[in-house]
Amino acid sequence: MRSRYCAFVKNKAEYIVNTHAAEFRQPNDLEAVQKTIDNTNWLGLKVVSTNGGLEDSDKGIVEFIAFYEESGIQQLHEESRFEKRDGQWLYLDGLQLGPIKIGRNDPCICNSGKKFKKCHG
């Protein structure tokens, strides 16, 4: 999950598409991913939980929240399914979850070390 988030931040659309399981891809995925990259200011990633993906497992679930700025602070909160194939973890699909509440005195979502209210709040 972290590598896919980094790929969005670093404008690596092909990596995003290549780490998405082929049976779940759409013909226009590369263009759609590139449009998302071009139009999104990513602020931070919080991995909430992981399930699976242990050495003896080839399936895993990651719950994460990706924070981004678009007319204010937004969240992509998802429970994603991954599967390891030929030594590579591939994204299968995800279930969208509701946003979390960010407290004014919580650490900022961008990992600046400041409180949320003094940074992006």
Give the CATH number of the domain where residue 27 resides: 3.10.450.50
Per-residue pLDDT at 55: 62
Per-residue pLDDT at 54: 58
CA nearest to 9, candidates 104, 96, 102, 111: 111
Q: How many structural domains does the chain have?
A: 1
Per-residue pLDDT at 57: 80
Per-residue pLDDT at 71: 82
Residue range 110-114: mean pLDDT, rounded:
92
Q: Is 23 exposed, middle or buried (0-12, 13-18, 19+ CB in 10 A)?
A: exposed
CA nearest to 68, candidates 107, 114, 36, 105: 36
**What's the start-to-end Cα distance of the chain, in Å?**
26
Range of the domain at 71: 2-119
Cα separation, 68 vs 17, in Å, equals: 20
pLDDT in tens, 59-94: 999 999 999 998 889 999 999 999 999 999 999 999
Per-residue pLDDT at 56: 64
DSSP helix/strand/coil, 2: helix
Per-residue pLDDT at 23: 97
Starting at the earlier edge strand, list the strands of the sheet with 88-97. 41-52, 59-69, 73-85, 88-97
pLDDT in tens, 7-53: 999 999 999 999 999 999 999 999 999 999 999 999 999 999 998 65
